[in-house]
């Protein structure tokens, strides 16, 4: 249940309880006052009638002896030896009775209670209408306050999700600005402070990584040159292979560092998705089965798309099993293999640097998929990882 609805129900419930309690108190208080005044007036007339009876054996017109219509509770109270009053508000003709015993008879006096009953009924209607109006007003006010709070919390939540997705420049305080100082504002400030600290740490990490890669570039270039001077033979080939892989790793680290900055931008042009796939297959230099189901033209950066697809194809060859298939369906290019598939943590959280997943997918430094995700983000494409029908790994590149 949403916060706005909960707040509305809570405030309306409290208002309802308060309104009903006040209405009941007002009702019973009005009944008590009305009956007390009527009993007092009728009792005074009874005393006058009793004095007239004892003095002149005469009764006023409104008094009677042993009236058969007198309420039974009143007669019983009088027979018990007391002066009694009784309000018969539920009768067809509401009346207030007073009675006392004179000479072995029950002397009673009664006055109409119709007007008082009518006024009390009108008061009850007014109280009911007041409670209903209170519920409507308090409910509307509660919905307004709850929706305002819910909008602020929703805006803060959306901004927090943007931060979690990597948009570390987003700030919760900007989305709830001018809303006053309260717990939501304090929470937004805490999230903003966390985002700023996280951004600073990631920036520091990126700078350190880039600096290390830059520092390694010069000696590795020297190693490549020296390896080329080695005499032919198996040991020389092994050295050249390892040096080449080391140079590739350094270049990948530098590319990751560049992609993590906000300065990278794609150079867009209109091109066929099938042509992009053909170029990637040629650049991969590995056996790939190309399937074009629905050719389409896309507006994207061909160089970065090729980089993404080549990394996906090489990853499929390195960690999966053949056949590796690159299929084109509209603006979606899919790379699938027949290996063990992506690990569960990669499917849940995406690729991470220097992490290749489970052991059965082989070795590697784990930067290929990270670079692919970074390049896709630069060109505004979506890269999704899943499981192919064959059970192997599947990566869908959806171009904008």
Question: Where along the chain do its domains lie?
Answer: 3-132, 194-259, 269-398
Confidence band of 103 (pLDDT split at 50, 70, 90): confident
DSSP-derived letter for residue 376 is: H
Burial of 70 (0-12, 13-18, 19+ CB in 10 A): buried
The DSSP line for 49-104 is HHHHHHHHS---TTEEES-TTS-HHHHHHHHTTS-EEEEETTSSS-EEEEEEEETT
Confidence band of 364 (pLDDT split at 50, 70, 90): very low
Burial of 11 (0-12, 13-18, 19+ CB in 10 A): middle
**Residue 118: pLDDT above 70?**
yes
Tell me the C-alpha distance between 353 and 363, whole Å: 13
Mean pLDDT value of segment 296-324: 90
Q: How many CB atoms lie within 10 A of CB 313?
A: 25
Topology of domain 194-259 in CATH is: Helix Hairpins (1.10.287)
List pLDDT tens digits, range 266-279: 678 899 999 999 99
* Helix orientation angle between 273-284 and 302-319, rounded to the nearest 10 degrees: 50
Q: Which residues contact 193 (CB under 8 A, 6 or more apart)?
A: none
> Which residue has better confidence, 201 or 174?
201
Burial of 256 (0-12, 13-18, 19+ CB in 10 A): buried
- So what's the pLDDT on residue 383? 92
Q: Are residues 369 and 315 in contact, defined by beta-carbon separation less than 8 angstroms?
A: yes
DSSP-derived letter for residue 105 is: E
Assign 325 to helix, strand or coil: strand
Q: What percent of the chain shows pLDDT beyond 90?
A: 16
Q: Looking at 90-104, 142-156, 191-205, 356-370, which range is the least confident one?
A: 356-370
Assign 398 to helix, strand or coil: strand
Tell me the C-alpha distance between 159 and 188, whole Å: 9
Confidence band of 358 (pLDDT split at 50, 70, 90): very low
The DSSP line for 199-239 is HHHHHHHHHHHHHHHHHHHHHHHHHHHHHHTSPSSHHHHHH
Angle (nearest 5°) at CA 292 between 290 and 297: 120
Copy the structure tokens of residue 109: 């006096």
Q: Which CATH architecture has domain 269-398?
A: 2-Layer Sandwich (3.30)
> Which residue has better confidence, 255 or 267?
267
Beta bridge partners of 333: 328, 397
Of 71, 86, 72, 81, nearest to 38 by C-alpha is: 86
Mean pLDDT value of segment 236-250: 77
- Terminal Cα distance for the chain, rounded: 36
Burial of 55 (0-12, 13-18, 19+ CB in 10 A): exposed
Confidence band of 35 (pLDDT split at 50, 70, 90): confident
The listed range with the strongest mean pLDDT (10-14, 265-269, 286-290) is 286-290
Angle (nearest 5°) at CA 307 between 304 and 309: 110
> Which residue has better confidence, 386 or 363?
386
């Amino acid at each position: 249940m949403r916060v706005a609805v909960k707040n509305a129900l809570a405030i309306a419930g409290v208002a309802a309880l308060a309104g009903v309690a006040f209405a009941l108190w007002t009702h019973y208080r009005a009944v008590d006052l009305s009956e007390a005044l009527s009993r007092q007036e009728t009792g005074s007339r009874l005393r006058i009638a009793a004095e007239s009876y004892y003095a002149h054996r005469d009764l006023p017109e409104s008094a009677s002896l042993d009236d058969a219509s007198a309420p039974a509770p009143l007669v019983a109270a009088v027979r018990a030896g007391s002066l009694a009053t009784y309000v018969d508000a539920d009768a067809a003709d509401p009346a207030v009775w007073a009675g006392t015993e004179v000479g072995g008879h029950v002397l009673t006096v009664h006055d109409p209670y119709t007007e008082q009953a009518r006024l009390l009924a009108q008061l009850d209607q007014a109280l009911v209408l007041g409670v209903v109006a209170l519920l409507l007003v308090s409910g509307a006010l509660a919905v307004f306050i709850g929706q305002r709070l819910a909008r602020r919390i929703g805006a803060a939540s959306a901004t927090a999700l943007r931060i979690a997705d990597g948009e570390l420049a987003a700030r919760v305080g900007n989305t709830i600005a001018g809303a006053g100082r309260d717990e939501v504002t304090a929470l937004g400030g805490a999230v903003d402070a966390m985002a700023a600290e996280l951004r600073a740490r990631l920036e520091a990490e990126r700078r350190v990584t880039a600096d290390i890669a830059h520092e390694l570039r010069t000696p590795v270039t020297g190693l490549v040159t020296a390896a080329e001077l080695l005499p032919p033979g198996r040991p020389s080939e092994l050295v050249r292979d390892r040096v080449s892989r080391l140079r590739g790793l350094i270049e990948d680290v530098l590319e990751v560092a560049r992609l993590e900055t906000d300065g990278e931008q794609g150079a867009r042009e209109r091109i066929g998705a099938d042509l992009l796939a053909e170029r990637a297959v040629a650049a991969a230099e590995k056996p790939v089965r190309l399937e074009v189901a629905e050719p389409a033209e896309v507006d994207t950066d061909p160089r970065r798309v090729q980089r993404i697809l080549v990394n996906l194809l090489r990853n499929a060859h390195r960690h999966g099993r053949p056949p590796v298939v690159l299929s084109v369906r509209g603006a979606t290019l899919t790379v699938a293999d027949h290996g063990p598939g992506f690990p569960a943590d990669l499917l849940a959280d995406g690729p991470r640097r220097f992490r290749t997943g489970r052991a059965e997918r082989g070795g590697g430094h784990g930067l290929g998929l990270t670079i692919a995700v970074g390049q896709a983000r630069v060109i505004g494409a979506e890269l999704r990882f899943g499981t192919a029908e064959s059970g192997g790994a599947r990566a869908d590149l959806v171009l904008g």
